[in-house]
Homo-oligomer: A and B are copies of this chain.
Amino acid sequence: MSRNIVMVVSYDGTTYSGFQSQPSGNTIQDILEAAIKTLTGEELRIIGSGRTDAGVHARGQVFNFHTESRIPQERWALAINTRLPDDVVVLEAWEAPEPFHARHSAKRKTYRYSIDRRKFPDVFSRHYAFHHPTPLNVDAMREAMSHLVGEHDFTSFTSIQSTQPHHVRTIFETRIEEEGNMLHLFVTGSGFLYNMVRIIAGTMMWVGEGKLSPNDIPAMLEAKDRTSTGPTAMAHGLMLWEVDYPPEESRLHISAQDSVN
């Protein structure tokens, strides 16, 4: 009987072409599948909670796969990490009930977009934060973000290249954290459209600059028109922060596991 293994993986997306496999290669999925092959000999496909674009990072991306391997669940993370490059690190692995599916079972996803407000870029964050040295009105950005909460048609906040049949999504929560000169925009939702968080971040920067008002957000949602919103913020400031699942659906042995910290 095959087992359903779930893993939480963090990666520095700087040099990769995104999470999902593609013909040109160089994706996180390719790297993970190759590592699993050297470990179990199986040519299998993993199921990610969703894609991340080229250059986007993950603190806690989740994926699962079905395997015949008998490796005990507590050995998986260490075993796979020794077969991964140092910019891809599996943080946790466990066995899930058979029906668990990293994409279909996900209930909430949180993304973080980071903005470095120093006069000159922080060298140590240069791959993980967008440099924006001119002033931003954080209170206005907070107010604008809050207008996104709820169930809305997010057509204005997705790329015109979106191939999704419908664009209604729910945002549960938004918040902005200040950490010294760094600004972190957090968005938690049921799911996100192509480029959605980057367009939210780009629009919020226009609000912060005073080019848009927080009160413009409802009309943008109403417009269902990509040209009503701000630019798509650069990929390197974006990080998939965490993916939430109902504990009873995602773990066979809950008590044996610690949550990701």
| Cβ–Cβ < 8 Å partners of A12 in chain B | 123-124, 126
Min CB distance, A7 to chain B, in Å? 11
CA distance A59 to B123 in the complex (A): 8
| Cβ–Cβ < 8 Å partners of A10 in chain B | 122-124
Interface contact A57-B87, CB-CB below 8 Å: no
Report A43-91 residues with CB < 8 Å from chain B CB: 57, 59, 77-78, 81, 86-91
Interface contact A126-B261, CB-CB below 8 Å: no
Residue A210 lies at the interface, judged by CB distance under 8 Å to chain B = no
Residue A150 lies at the interface, judged by CB distance under 8 Å to chain B = no
| Cβ–Cβ < 8 Å partners of A78 in chain B | 120
Residue A121 lies at the interface, judged by CB distance under 8 Å to chain B = yes
Residue A113 lies at the interface, judged by CB distance under 8 Å to chain B = no
| Cβ–Cβ < 8 Å partners of A89 in chain B | 120-123
Given contacts A88-B123, A89-B121, A89-B122, 20 further A-B contacts (CB under 8 A): A10-B122, A10-B123, A10-B124, A12-B123, A12-B124, A57-B123, A57-B124, A59-B124, A77-B119, A77-B120, A78-B120, A81-B120, A86-B123, A86-B126, A87-B123, A89-B120, A89-B123, A90-B120, A91-B119, A91-B120
Q: List 12 A-B contacts (CB under 8 A).
A: A10-B124, A11-B123, A12-B124, A57-B124, A59-B124, A77-B120, A81-B120, A86-B121, A86-B126, A89-B121, A91-B120, A180-B261
Name A's B-contacting residues (CB within 8 A): 10-12, 57, 59, 77-78, 81, 86-91, 119-124, 126, 128, 180-181, 261
